[in-house]
Structure 1
Amino acid sequence: MAATGDEAAAMDSISREPAAVSAGLIAAASSTAAAERPDDPPEAPSSAPKKPGANSDGGVETAEEAVEPAEPDINELCSDMFEKMAIFLQGELTATCEDYLLLENMNKLTSLKYMEMKDISINISRNLQDLNNKYASLQPYLDQINKIEEQVSSLEQAAYKLDAYSKKLEARFKKLEKR
């Protein structure tokens, strides 16, 4: 049966490819197909092109039949690629979401710590204000204590002066008595 249309163009392009490229494509296609479909029987390996000097004909090359490489099932490969890409992207997005959740939790904890510190500082401020109010209410008494202390020190000075004066008087009295 003769090839027509697209099949003829494909066969024509295959026959124009270098033999090494065709053999590489055939090997790659067969290994990919075997890896993708392990239940299929392995294809027979294609014969490698013969070297020009290896023939017994003395340098005459023999033509070999062009073998069309087996087309891998592109739909299966695409769906496999998309599944693996989806798994990869899902993992990346999951990691990013986990990072954001961690940051969110850290922000919540930090917010709670700041709220606790705010409450502590409010309590300290309130206690300081109470102490200032108590000190202000005690200030008149403290002023009285300071005045009393000044009076006690002046009274003490007067007592020392009186003691010194009484000692002088006693000394004079003893002098007058002796006479």
Structure 2
Amino acid sequence: MSEEDDTWTADRKNKDMRMFQSCSSFELSDPHDPVLSRLATQMFKRTNDYLQGEMTAGQDHYVLLEEINRLVITKYADLRSLAVNLTKSINESNEKYETEIKPLLQHIEDIDNEMSVLEATAFRLDSYTKQLLARFVELLDIDNNSNEK
């Protein structure tokens, strides 16, 4: 037998088998290894710390989300009031355009149309006066020629 087999006695093997028969049960009446108990306690404490940290992180995330939500609500409320004010201003401007500016623009358009008609009439009158002048000069030339004879 090897040295390792010599160190393990049948009694020791039986004791170890009794202690580690099941990993899922822990009975107070069963003898247990204090190192295993200490390691299990450390594992449970660390698992507890980990889970507490995860829960705290989750809670912190929810608090952050609530704060962001409040800020977004405030921002959108400001944007909504701005949009309402802009709508009111646009409606007032449209009303002012319809009641005050549009009639003035129509009046300017009417004056422009009348000026175009007046301009056309002035050109026709100028053309007519030039024709009359040409005929008058022609008549004067005819009278001057007949008087000279």
Q: Answer whether TM exceeds 0.5 for this pair.
A: yes
The amino acid across from 1:148 in the alignment is: I
Match of 1:72 among 13, 19, 33: 33
- Structure 1 residues 178 and 88: alpha-carbon distance in aligned structure 2, compared to 1, 3 A threshold: same
Gaps of at least 5 residues in structure 1 are: 1-46, 52-62
Gaps of at least 5 residues in structure 2 are: 17-30, 143-149
* Stretches of 4+ aligned residues off by more than 6 angstroms: none
If each structure's helix is expressed as a fraction of its own residues, which one has the higher value? 2
Question: How many residues matched?
Answer: 122
Q: In the alignment, what sits opposite 2:59?
A: 97
The two structures, once aligned, show a CA RMSD in angstroms of 2.7
- Cα shift at 1:77: 5.1
Q: Give the number of the structure with larger relative contact order, counting CA–CA contacts within 8 Å between residues 6 or more apart.
A: 1
Residue 108 (str. 1) matches residue 70 (str. 2): yes
The amino acid across from 2:4 in the alignment is: A
- Structure 1 residues 173 and 64: alpha-carbon distance in aligned structure 2, compared to 1, 3 A threshold: closer
Q: In the alignment, what sits opposite 2:94?
A: 132
Post-superposition CA distance 1:97-140 (Å, at most 9, x none): 12222222222222222222212211221111111111111222
Within-5 A mapping of 1:33-44 = none
* SS of residue matched to 2:6: coil
Residue 174 (str. 1) matches residue 141 (str. 2): no
Q: In the alignment, what sits opposite 2:4?
A: 48
- Cα shift at 1:91: 0.8
- Structure 1 residues 84 and 178: alpha-carbon distance in aligned structure 2, compared to 1, 3 A threshold: same
TM-score calculated relative to the size of structure 1? 0.58
Q: In the alignment, what sits opposite 1:159?
A: 122
- Cα shift at 1:64: 4.3
The amino acid across from 2:57 in the alignment is: A
Post-superposition CA distance 1:128-167 (Å, at most 9, x none): 1111111111222222222222111111111011000000
Task: Give distance in 2, aligned partners of 1:141 and 1:64.
Answer: 117
TM-score calculated relative to the size of structure 2? 0.68
- Percent identity over the alignment is 31
